[in-house]
Structure 1
Amino acid sequence: MDLFKVLGSGARFNKKRFTDDISLFEPSNKLRKTNDTSDTQMDIMQEINFFHNSKSAIDETLGVTKDKKITKDVEKDQEEESINCYNDENEDEDDQAEEEPLVKDLNSMDDVKSFRKRHRIHIYGTDIPNPFSSFDDLESKYNFQPYICKNLKNSAYEKPTPIQMQAIPIMIHGRDLMAMAPTGSGKTLAYIIPMLHDLKGPEKIGYRALIISPTRELAQQIYREFKKMAVGKKFKVCMLTKATAATQAQTPHLREKFDILISTPLRLVHAIQQDIIELKNVRHLILDEADKLLELGFLEQTDEIFAACSNVKLQKALFSATFPSSVETLANDFMKDPIRVVIGLKNAATETIKQKLLYVGQEEGKLIAVRQLIQEGFKPPVLIFVQSIERAKELFHELIYDGINVDVIHSERTKAQRDSIILNLKQGKIWVLIATELMARGMDFKGVNLVINYDFPQSVQSYIHRIGRTGRAGRSGEAVTYYTKDDAPYLKSVVNVMKESGCEVPDWMLQLKNPSRESKKRLRKKPIERKTIDTRSTYDLKKMIRKKYVSNYLLLR
């Protein structure tokens, strides 16, 4: 008598009933045929593996190699041969060994190509300046003033990053630039250094350089970096706030004393319309997080800023970790013969981030997963991203009673509150910070060990910017993305980023269908509707409402 056959005889799975659920995780059509043979072998092995204790045997039979890394060839660009998106451990060691000796001179085109290939620098354009390999070259080769090199050493910048190696020479030569590099790769310094070099010193003719940032917090960060790099020169750097705008409105002659202006778009547009700020002498215009500034929400403001910068010698540079094709097309309309620089793969995350996907079932499973993480112990600080201010508040009210130092940051908090929160996070007083989408842009939170995407990101660009808050400046980090049944149709978008970044991805995820262009567009415009984050019982909610009703009644008597 076959005991297992008897036990399983009454078990049936109604595929018709769950057709919609099954379709979410079906592989793409082109992969179905290739999987038929392996699926049959797997079914046979699983049928004889009654107690599920022979996984290694199944893997061995089917030729499955554990911890297999996925590699992909990068398309050949105008000047370079294709390279792998990442290498295995042995190749990494070889690369590090090759990078240790400094390349003093890049005399031939072969040397330049080899150098760019080794540092994964992809370039597009004409008459492209050669990269440099050491900060010592700035003084010896490009005649930089000594104070810049001294400030670099004092700030512990030992060697340039790939984006700095190529972007700085391009900007020195006055060319328009579109620069895309992973988060935490030194993009801010890549435009500060050549800008200070070109400005030479302070002049009392008004603003000569302008940096636009989508958030006030990022603008403050850029301001601090400018002040640090400008030590030794009496450059006047202004971060446009309500207070500084009012001061310049009351005393117009102060405007001429400033050299560099840093601002958010709306604040600057208001100052331009009120004739508080003049930008006719601006020679350098930088859009930091350019893809965000060229979205529909900022585009009208950005256009007005461009119109105010009337200098015929204006140099424009765009920096970001991601550039959708629509933004590239738009940028080409207002840039003059731009050079495009891409570090690594386009729209990929840095390889220092360990990325994970975690299926939580329904919305309630997310809070359970977070609390389980807290109970098991974690290494702060941790950033948790949600899709709206309301959900940020809801999650904060849930976690604040769990015995951890948690806070929340979003646009409804006052400037003083946001400054205090960021300071407390840097000082270790906050362990877990809940944030909304816009805070994922450009902010350099030092030492963030873990990023949790509590709500699934609305686009690939959003995902890259979110997880880019960890794994910065060569440090390692981890990013976990929760997903539910509602997020399943968009899962492949994140899987593709993980694969391109060199992360291990299960085969079944690689076989998922790519979301359609229409569905991705809908998701960008409107996030998925989700249940309220609230673990209180219906009885407790009714009790709270009743108590509130009684108190209001007593107040009216």
Structure 2
Amino acid sequence: MDAEDIFRKISVGAKFNKQKFLVDAQRCNLLKNKPTLGPLLGKREKSPSPVADEVTVKESENEDQLTILGSIRVSEDGSISKKKKKKTSSSEKEAQMNQEKINRFRNQQKISVNGKDVPKPIETFEELVETYNISEDLLQNIKNAGYEYPTPIQMQAIPRRQILACAPTGSGKTAAFLIPIIHHLKGPRKLGFRAVIVSPTRELAKQTHRECLRLAEGQGLRVHIISKISQAIKKFGSNSSQKFDILITTPNRLVYLLKQDPPAISLKNVEWLIVDESDKLFEAGVKGFRDQLAVIYTSCENPSICRAMYSATHTPVVASWCRKNMHRLVGVTIGVRNTAADVVEQQLLFVGNEAGKLVAFRDIVKKGLTPPVLIFVQTKERAKELFNELIYDGINVDVIHADRTQLQRDNVVKSFRIGKIWILICTELMGRGIDFKGVNLVINYDFPPSAISYIHRIGRTGRAGRPGKAITFFTEDDSVNLRSIAQVMRDSGCEVPDYMLRMKKASKEVRKQLEKKAPKRDRISTVPLHELERQKKLLKRLKLKKKQEKGQSKDENNVLESKARKGSEKNTKDLPKQKSKKNKNKTNKLLSKKASKKLTMKKKTKNKILRNP
């Protein structure tokens, strides 16, 4: 078989469209010259128009040229010709150059933005005076608060826009939304609340309140926080003088005031609505605040309101809601979403089982640790158990959880800030937004229920660029979420074993169950099980004895009282009334002394049993 035969077999059924590829057909002489009938019939051929001549000339010129990369043409001679580009004006060139500078600066600061007409980021706080005309007093307050240079989130978020911001823990998000609020409100007015900041916990709300007072000093703005509802109803009700501007609160307390009849607070003139830790507030269910947030959102009726959502972690639920409900939304993300700060040294430590956690912690203490230290556990019961174990180790340790009163929690936080407490045991309550300056170590005693929880927990250290360390204990039962947390660690630049990243992903149902319900764990205790059972039995016996003794003491008291009455009746016949009263008092005193002696003896025996079981 020749090459021609092979080509024929390959090209069977292929046709050459001579009309479509007329130029190529003419070059290859594939067209047959048909005889014209015009001269034979005596008809004159019409001369083509000059416009048609020009078109054919241009087409013939273009036919002999080959285009390369759009603007470059190569003729048959081999000469190269380029198309002339349109001349751009000097103003367009300047705009392009400025945009390139802005994009380069954003890339350096790891700022990514989404939206239309996004304002350029500021590089120094002094630019706020030039571009946004903020007052010199506010600029001085910013410097007095310790802010020398703006952080990346402050660079992009300070201009007034509806914003969805995601920035790492300790990156200055609080100042990023407080500065534009204080600048925009300018001064006090008798219009009621014009800015509302919603936080998930009372501790975080108090921290925001302190920061707002520092930045608003000398501005005349009235900043309030709802501490007691009874006082709030009197302060903010319809009969109040409306001498307030900024409200910082938790969602439950604000919703309670809004649902009063008539409402105990008005949000009609609110110009700013800030949702701090938005991913937590958007959670549904018992632990979430989505229903309360909906009530607050509908109560803010001002059409020109500016809303902003801030958090260290990004969730698709918040993002989709913001895109639907917020006009001209600007999305700002600092660094990689859902990652920890790169200044935190992270470590995963395998401890085998629950008993190994206490051994590992005491080993860390022996090697030496620099306080202050935060220890996270999953429930308040486990927090109490760990506190009872560590209190006898000679360490200044305390515990904070939801069962403690607000006064106790405030005192614990204050003493931890001062340095009286070295180690603070806490639950997820303290994992959101609270800024303890100088926390050197965070220990996840119980494995976090999700990657988001892990990011917020370890975010209590490494604040404002300071270095920190986070150690996470894990057992064989914690393998469900191990892969997701190892991924977070790798994204933030930490070394992680390869086998952790190769583990299977947990299903959505399993992850949701872990977030809702904490897994069952063994009791935190160094006392053996048989001794614990023995102590329980002893306590039961003591309780039974107490009940029996109470019954006996009541019977004895009744007998003694009856005897005393009979004796007093006999004596009253011979003695005056005043003496009978004195006798009664004496008998009562004797009875009370006997009862108190018995109680003290019982307490002593109980303490001896507990000390030496």
Same fold (TM over 0.5): yes
When normalised by structure 2's length, the TM-score is: 0.71
Aligned to 2:135: 145
Question: Which of 156, 159, 173 is the matching residue for 2:146?
Answer: 156
> Amino acid of the residue matched to residue 218 of structure 2?
G
Instruction: Give the counterpart of 2:181 among 183, 195, 206.
Output: 195
Q: Which digits, 9 at most, give the CA deviation of each residue in 1:180-202, with x for residues without a partner?
A: 00000000000000011110111
- Corresponding residue number in structure 2 for 1:240: 226
User: How much does 1:508 deviate?
Assistant: 2.7
What SS class does the counterpart of residue 184 from structure 1 fall into?
coil
In structure 2, the residue matched to 1:214 is: 200
Aligned to 2:510: 519
Q: Deviations over 1:488-543 (max 9, x none)?
A: 13211001101110111223333333333333223222222211212212332233
Quick one: distance in 1 between partners of 2:236 and 2:100? 55
**Larger RCO, structures 1/2 (Cα 8 Å, 6+ apart):** 1
**Counterpart position of 2:608:** none
* Matched ranges for 1:347-386 at <5 A: 347-386=338-377
Residue 414 (structure 1) aligned to one of 370, 383, 405: 405
Q: Is the 8 A contact 1:470 1:476 kept in 2?
A: yes
Q: Tell which deviates more after alignment, 268-277 or 207-216.
A: 268-277
Whole-angstrom CA distance in 2 between matches of 1:389 and 1:106: 57
What secondary structure is seen at the aligned counterpart in 1 of 2:139?
Answer: helix
**Does the CA contact (< 8 Å) of 1:106 and 1:112 recur in 2?**
no
- The yes-or-no answer on 1:204 pairing with 2:187 is no
Matched-pair contact (CA < 8 Å) for 1:286–1:316 = yes
- Counterpart position of 1:278: 266
Q: Equivalent residue of 2:289, what SS? A: helix
Q: In structure 2, do the counterparts of structure 1 residues 141 and 331 end up closer, same or farther at CA, with 3 Å as the change threshold?
A: closer
CA apart distance, 1:251: 7.8
Where 1:445 maps in the other structure, the secondary structure is: coil
Match of 1:454 among 430, 445, 448: 445
Gap change, CA 1:119 and 1:490, over 3 Å in 2: same
* AA matched with 1:240: I
Determine which of 232, 239, 252 is the counterpart of 2:239: 252
Aligned partner of 1:257: which letter? K
For residue 107 of structure 2, what is the aligned residue in structure 1? 117
Q: How does 1:384-403 map to 2 (within 5 A)?
A: 384-403=375-394
Alignment partner for residue 165 of structure 1, among 155, 173, 176? 155
Amino acid at match of 1:290: S
User: Per the alignment, do residues 487 and 136 of structure 1 end up closer, same or farther by CA in structure 2, a change over 3 Å counting?
Assistant: same
- Aligned partner of 2:268: which letter? K
Distance in structure 2 (CA, Å) of the matches to 1:389 and 1:450: 21
What amino acid does structure 2 have at the position aligned with 1:509? M
Secondary structure of the structure 1 residue equivalent to 2:480 = helix
Q: Does 1:289 align with 2:280?
A: no
Q: Distance in 1 between matches of 2:397 and 2:412?
A: 10
Residue among 125, 144, 152 paired with 1:135:
125
CA-CA distance at 1:249 after TM superposition: 5.8
Question: 1:250 offset after TM fit, Å?
Answer: 6.9
Comparing 110-119 with 140-149, greater Cα deviation is found at 140-149
Letter paired with 1:331: C
Matching residue's letter, 1:118:
Q
* Alignment counterpart, residue 269 of structure 1, candidates 248, 255, 261: 255
The answer to whether the 8 Å contact 2:237/2:265 transfers is: no
Q: Secondary structure at the match of 1:359?
A: strand
Answer yes or no: is the 8 Å Cα contact 1:182–1:350 preserved in 2: yes
Structure label with greater radius of gyration: 2
CA deviation vs aligned residue, 1:472-497 (integer Å, no higher than 9, x gap): 00100000111111111321100110
* Secondary structure at the counterpart of residue 514 of structure 2: helix
Rounded to whole Å, the distance in 1 between the matches of 2:152 and 2:96 is 15
Query: What SS does the aligned partner of 2:266 have?
Result: coil
CA-based RMSD: 1.6
Contact 2:233 2:265 survives alignment (8 Å) = no
Match in the other structure for 1:438: 429
1:501 aligns with 2:508: no
For residues 16-165 of structure 1, the aligned pairs below 5 Å read 108-165=98-155
Specify the alignment match of 2:168 in structure 1.
Answer: 182
Matched letter for residue 119 of structure 1: Q
Identity %: 50
- 1:310, 1:326 → 2: CA distance? 23
Q: Distance in 1 between matches of 2:213 and 2:150?
A: 19
Partner of 1:43: none
d(CA) in 2 for partners of 1:405, 1:487 = 30
Deviation digits for residues 417-468 of structure 1 (CA, Å, limit 9, x no counterpart): 0110111101111111111112100000111000111111111110000000
- Partner Cα distance (2:327, 2:404) in 1: 40
d(CA) in 1 for partners of 2:164 and 2:365?
Answer: 41
The question of whether the paired residues in 2 share the 8 Å contact of 1:252 and 1:276 is answered with no
Cα distance between partner residues in 2 of 1:304 and 1:118: 41
1:484 is matched with 475
Equivalent AA in structure 2 for residue 349 of structure 1: A
CA distance in 2, matches of 1:189, 1:492: 34
Matching residue within 284, 289, 299 for 1:298: 289
Maintained 8 Å contact 2:234/2:240: no
In structure 2, the residue matched to 1:41 is none
- Give the TM-score normalised by the residue count of structure 1: 0.78
In structure 2, C-alpha distance between the alignment counterparts of 1:332 and 1:489, rounded to whole Å: 33
1:269 touches 1:301 (CA, 8 Å); kept in 2?
Answer: yes
Cα shift readout 1:54-76 (whole Å, capped 9, x = no counterpart): xxxxxxxxxxxxxxxxxxxxxxx
Moved more, 371-380 or 536-545: 536-545
Instruction: Decide whether the 8 Å contact of 1:289 with 1:318 is kept in 2.
Output: yes
Assess, with a 3 A threshold, how the Cα gap between structure 1 residues 129 and 286 changes in structure 2: closer, same or farther. same
Alpha-carbon separation, structure 2, partners of 1:393 and 1:179: 36
Partner of 1:21: none
Q: Distance in 1 between matches of 2:293 and 2:97?
A: 40
2:539 match: 548
Q: Aligned to 1:312, which of 303, 322, 342?
A: 303
SS, match of residue 108 in structure 1: helix
| Residue number in structure 2 paired with 1:475 | 466
**Structure 1 counterpart of 2:139, one-letter code:** C
Distance, in Å, in 1 between the alignment partners of 2:322 and 2:392 is 48
Please give the alpha-carbon distance, in whole angstroms, between the structure 2 residues aligned to 1:131 and 1:244: 42
Task: Report deviation, 1:556.
Answer: 1.5
The alpha-carbon deviation at position 376 of structure 1 amounts to 1.7
Indicate conservation of the 8 Å contact 2:432/2:457, yes or no.
yes
Counterpart secondary structure, 1:150: helix
1:425 is aligned to 416
- Structure 1 distance, partners of 2:455, 2:198, is 21
Tell me, yes or no, if the aligned pair for 1:185 and 1:473 is still in contact at 8 Å.
yes
Give, in whole Å, the separation in 1 of the partners of 2:356 and 2:344. 24
